[in-house]
Amino acid sequence: MNDLSKKVVKLLTKKKLTVSFAESCTGGLLASTITSISGSSNVFKIGLVTYSNDAKIKLLGVPKKTITNFGAVSYETCLSMVKNLSKISKSNISISITGVAGPNGGTKEKPVGLVYMGIKKGRKTIIKKNLFKNKGRIFIQKATAKKVLKMILKTV
């Protein structure tokens, strides 16, 4: 994942772009992988770990109704997270992540390994739904971070 992080930092630096993250199930792993790279201070603006519903509501301005109606792990919550992060951070690229990393907490409708990832660049916003194999919490977190880094490379 370190090589991917280096590529992302290098590309963002070259294109003079900034990035911010709102992470839930990854708990700051994505921000950590980026900030472990020398020169990341030129491109990384904000990393929020909005793990609880309360944090999503208070820090990111996700409407309580959205979480009540659709759940914290949903397309709608992920979309609200990324749109509001974009307003707060003023970054060129904003990323949101919400999911079920396990080993518990999954349901039939939202199993362990279900993760929504949002990316917003300019007026374009993409929300991807992924179902990672339930190979443990750390596996799901790392797989999510890796997928998001690849999404950034494709978007830039």
Residue pLDDT, tens place only, 104-147: 889 999 999 999 999 999 999 999 999 999 999 999 999 999 99
pLDDT of residue 2: 87
Predicted local distance difference test score (pLDDT) of residue 1: 74
CA distance linking residue 30 with residue 141, whole number of Å: 9
Does CATH place domain 2-155 in 3.90.950.20? yes
In the DSSP assignment, the letter for residue 141 is H
With contact defined as beta carbons under 8 Å apart, do 73 and 112 qualify? no
Residue 5: pLDDT band (50, 70, 90) is: very high
Task: Please tell me the distance from the alpha carbon of residue 110 to that of residue 122, in angstroms, as a whole number.
Answer: 30
Instruction: Report the DSSP pairing between strands 44-49 and 19-23.
Output: parallel
pLDDT value at residue 24: 98
- Domain layout of the chain by residue ranges: 2-155
Determine the 3-state secondary structure of 114 from DSSP: strand
Q: What does the angle CA 36 – CA 37 – CA 39 come to, to the nearest 5 degrees?
A: 130
Strand partners, 151: none
Give me 20's structure tokens: 């911010």
Could you say which DSSP state residue 128 is in?
E
- Please tell me whether the overall predicted TM-score, pTM, comes out greater than 0.95 for this model: yes
**What's the pLDDT at 57?**
98
How does DSSP assign 55-88, residue by residue? HHHHTT---HHHHHHH-SSSHHHHHHHHHHHHHH
Q: For residue range 34-85, list pLDDT tens digits in order.
A: 999 999 999 999 999 999 999 999 999 999 999 999 999 999 999 999 999 9
